[in-house]
A and B are shown apart, each in its own frame.
Chain A
Amino acid sequence: MQHLAFDIAHLLAGSIVLVSLMLLYQVRLYALLNVFALQAAVLALSVSWQAWLQDAPELYLTAAIALVVKAIVIPLALHRMIRRLGIHREVETALNIGPTMLAGLALVALAIAVVHRVSPDANMIAREDIAFALAVVLLGLLMMVTRRNAVSQVVGFMSLENGLILAASGAKGMPYVVEISVAFSILVAFIVIGIFLFRIRERFDTVDLHALDQITGSER
């Protein structure tokens, strides 16, 4: 029974890594958002499983936040935004898909190699989860570095954050996981609002202030 419980936890955490790799090769923004929503949904499942496993009811709340905010609300908001702002529907990459995937695989290997040096008497479930979580964090960083559009960068940041929630939920009895997920939701909300208000299309280059004036109705 114990083994089965661990296996399911690993399966779910592993799927999140897999979806992270899927995020890397999406070339269309809408598809990217759908894959991200899928990742958030798998995260919600994984966190609920941990909640049941650790008998920690507050983790269900974290799972609910992941499901409602990250799998539904934010992807929908970004969908609307892409339509309203007329953003390019394609993901502009600084690095081609092939090399990015190779780098991604190397990062996953690195994450597992690094975490496996941790002494085996540490809680097994935590150790495997940390390896997966580290892989998700690194893949999120990779995505932020190799993508040009603001939207795909935000998706990279949010998938990085999924890795953090995965790590926090896997750490047995860790306090404040709910608070942390709320704090991050606020951060992400700020970022999304920022993109919308300032019409940020590209990483650091295009902040269309003229558009901002149109929104706020002020004159300069």
Chain B
Amino acid sequence: MTAAFNSLIHPFAANAVMLILVIPAASAALLFAVRDYRRSARLNAFAAFLMLLAALALLVEQPPPGDYLHVDDLNIVFIILNSLVGFTTSLFSASYIAHELEIGRLTRAQLRFYHAMYQLLLFAMALSLLANNIGLMWVAIELATLTTVVMVGIYRTHEALEAAWKYFILGSVGIALALFGTILVYLAALPTVGEGAAAMIWTVLMSNAGRLDPAMLNLAFIFLLLGYGTKVGLAPLHAWLPDAHAEGPTPISAVLSGLLLNVALHAVLRFKLVLAANPGAIAPGPLMVTLGLGSLIFAAFMLYRRRDIKRLFAYSSIENMGIIVFAFGMGGPLANFAGLLQMTMHSLTKSAIFFTVGQISQAKGTQRLAELHGLTLTQPVLGWGLVVGVAAIAGMPPFGIFTSEFLVVSSTFARQPLLAIPLVIGMLVGFGALMLRLHDVAFGNPGGPDHPVKSSYIPMTLHLGLVLMAGIYLPGPLVVWFQHVAEMLH
């Protein structure tokens, strides 16, 4: 039985890496040609579903690393998470976009473009995660940035264009700095590995990591951390993030927050591994701990002064990325495990929150917090969905983020008690701000217009269900898998 199953799945699994890239790339080309928006929305979701299947096939069989692409335990986590959220977001997007078309915020031509760009973004993110070549990884992140820039500006309003422009300029600077870091890594590897493409292949860099030029690596890491850190949204390089999240279409906010930030983080982690394996280089941990802690505390305080609901959750993303980078910076099996779990939970929860917020803003016709009140009364499903989502993202039990934040705090207490104090303060301040805002939005006196919403609740329920399940019971194989990756990350 299993032999038959294996022989059936083998050809599929062996080509899974190619499929993960070809499916979105081909769909992007195809979607440029499809005129009917309903058909293109369905096609978009279908392509994302196929991509998810291909990503899951990687669990069955992993191909050996090539010069350009590779699959290891680290990027599999990211790829599966990416294709899962990519798929559910495409489902949400299909219903969300229909409403935007109805109220005339988007035209049919823009929608065609939107769907093609969505697949192109999925392609760019998958390419960057799968890349074994640090140059290719950089190109993929540049492509992902360009596609999201045009998506953020798609409404063509004054604010949307401003947000897109700001994102574009700051993203470009980040990309430029990351490229400088990439060149420096090549130079660090030049004396040991020799000239040519080999010195840019990550697996080659890793196996020679101990003999690379440490001073050059140090310099390289600073540029890579600042460059890709801009895309992770770390303070003080985060300025693009709240605007880009607030002004673009909500499915894009969900993908930006839930996926693109992780992709940039993945790039940072790859280089952290190279540095950690070099005895002469600086420890990358303290730098990441500092940036992470800074982002957490900064974002936690900024949460109090938000007037726009999407901006509020954009700052919450900065806060969460701060915690995640902090956890990976601390290192060690427990903190890395916590970081991975927090990252997964954050992606699922934050995209669920954005699904809810998107529907709320469609129902109420506004994103301003001051005009959103008493949603649990007028829109029970959305209101309570938001309550559950915010409770989860704020780190309340019994949700998965509680588990991961608890692990981050306890592992920090065990090793660096002094660092745990600002960490806990940051988390509590952020928690307070989210609860304060949630109280008004969800409970308060209802008011304002109420348009019926036709969007599907399935993606939101699915995500929140997974987060709840993770908080109550983490399946054994998942724990073993994450532990394995955590050990790989040092």
Q: Which residues of A contact B177 (CB under 8 A)?
A: 137
Instruction: Using CB atoms, name the residue of chain A closest to B195.
Output: A173
Whether B213 pairs with A167 at a CB distance below 8 angstroms is no
B215 at the interface (CB under 8 A from A): yes
Q: Among A144, A161, A174, point to the contact of B186 (Cβ < 8 A).
A: A174
Whether B161 pairs with A209 at a CB distance below 8 angstroms is yes
Whether A157 pairs with B176 at a CB distance below 8 angstroms is yes
Interface residues of B in 188-205 (CB under 8 A from A): 190-191, 195-197, 200
B169 to chain A, nearest CB (A): 7
Q: Which residues of B contact A174 (CB under 8 A)?
A: 183, 186
B28 at the interface (CB under 8 A from A): no
> 1/0 per residue A153-186: CB within 8 Å of B?
1000100110110011001111110011001000
Whether B197 pairs with A115 at a CB distance below 8 angstroms is no
The answer for the CA separation of A14 and B404 in the assembled complex, in Å, is 51
B187 at the interface (CB under 8 A from A): yes
A191 at the interface (CB under 8 A from B): yes
Whether A167 pairs with B183 at a CB distance below 8 angstroms is yes
Interface residues of A in 190-209 (CB under 8 A from B): 190-191, 194, 198, 200, 203-205, 207, 209
Whether B191 pairs with A122 at a CB distance below 8 angstroms is yes
The answer for the CA separation of A187 and B171 in the assembled complex, in Å, is 11
A114 at the interface (CB under 8 A from B): yes
Q: A180-B135, A187-B142, A204-B162 are in contact. Are A126 and B187 (CB under 8 A)?
A: yes
Q: A167-B183, A207-B165 are in contact. Are A157 and B190 (CB under 8 A)?
A: no
A218 to chain B, nearest CB (A): 9
A9 at the interface (CB under 8 A from B): no
B429 to chain A, nearest CB (A): 28
The answer for the CA separation of A176 and B156 in the assembled complex, in Å, is 35
Q: Among B139, B161, B165, B173, point to the contact of A144 (Cβ < 8 A).
A: B173
The answer for the CA separation of A118 and B161 in the assembled complex, in Å, is 43
Q: Which residues of A contact B187 (CB under 8 A)?
A: 122-123, 126, 130, 171
Q: Among A172, A179, A204, point to the contact of B166 (Cβ < 8 A).
A: A204
A145 to chain B, nearest CB (A): 10
Instruction: Using CB atoms, name the residue of chain B closest to A145.
Output: B173
B420 at the interface (CB under 8 A from A): no
The answer for the CA separation of A183 and B172 in the assembled complex, in Å, is 12
The answer for the CA separation of A209 and B165 in the assembled complex, in Å, is 13
A220 to chain B, nearest CB (A): 9
Q: Among B166, B179, B191, B215, point to the contact of A180 (Cβ < 8 A).
A: B179
A219 at the interface (CB under 8 A from B): no
Whether A164 pairs with B183 at a CB distance below 8 angstroms is yes
Instruction: Using CB atoms, name the residue of chain B closest to A144.
Output: B173
B98 at the interface (CB under 8 A from A): no
Whether B166 pairs with A209 at a CB distance below 8 angstroms is no
The answer for the CA separation of A23 and B139 in the assembled complex, in Å, is 29
Whether B190 pairs with A204 at a CB distance below 8 angstroms is no
Instruction: Using CB atoms, name the residue of chain A closest to B222.
Output: A114
Whether A183 pairs with B169 at a CB distance below 8 angstroms is no
Whether A117 pairs with B168 at a CB distance below 8 angstroms is no
The answer for the CA separation of A191 and B195 in the assembled complex, in Å, is 34
Q: Among A115, A141, A179, A212, point to the contact of B173 (Cβ < 8 A).
A: A141
> 1/0 per residue A138-160: CB within 8 Å of B?
00010010000000010001001
Whether B183 pairs with A168 at a CB distance below 8 angstroms is yes
Whether A175 pairs with B135 at a CB distance below 8 angstroms is yes
B305 at the interface (CB under 8 A from A): no
B416 at the interface (CB under 8 A from A): no
B183 to chain A, nearest CB (A): 5
Q: Which residues of B contact A203 (CB under 8 A)?
A: 169
A119 at the interface (CB under 8 A from B): yes
The answer for the CA separation of A167 and B181 in the assembled complex, in Å, is 10
Whether B183 pairs with A171 at a CB distance below 8 angstroms is yes
Q: A126-B190, A174-B183, A198-B161 are in contact. Are A119 and B215 (CB under 8 A)?
A: yes
Whether B176 pairs with A137 at a CB distance below 8 angstroms is yes
B453 at the interface (CB under 8 A from A): no
Q: Which residues of B contact A183 (CB under 8 A)?
A: 139, 142
The answer for the CA separation of A134 and B220 in the assembled complex, in Å, is 11
Q: Which residues of A contact B195 (CB under 8 A)?
A: 172-173
Interface residues of B in 395-418 (CB under 8 A from A): none
Q: Which residues of B contact A207 (CB under 8 A)?
A: 158, 161-162, 165
Q: Among B165, B176, B191, B216, point to the contact of A204 (Cβ < 8 A).
A: B165
The answer for the CA separation of A171 and B184 in the assembled complex, in Å, is 9
A160 to chain B, nearest CB (A): 6
Instruction: Using CB atoms, name the residue of chain B closest to A210.
Output: B158
The answer for the CA separation of A205 and B163 in the assembled complex, in Å, is 10
Interface residues, chain B, with chain A CB atoms under 8 Å away: 135, 139, 142, 146, 156-158, 161-162, 165-166, 168-169, 172-173, 175-177, 179-180, 183-184, 186-187, 190-191, 195-197, 200, 213, 215-216, 219
Residue contacts A-B, CB under 8 angstroms, 28 given: A114-B219, A118-B215, A122-B187, A123-B190, A123-B191, A133-B180, A134-B180, A137-B176, A144-B173, A157-B169, A157-B172, A164-B180, A171-B186, A173-B196, A175-B197, A175-B200, A176-B135, A180-B135, A183-B139, A190-B168, A194-B165, A194-B168, A198-B161, A200-B165, A204-B165, A205-B162, A209-B157, A209-B161
**Further contacts, 13 of them, CB under 8 A, given A126-B190, A167-B180, A171-B187:** A118-B215, A118-B216, A121-B191, A122-B187, A133-B180, A171-B186, A172-B190, A180-B179, A183-B142, A187-B175, A205-B162, A209-B158, A209-B161
The 3 closest A-B pairs by CB, nearest first: A173-B195, A118-B215, A175-B197
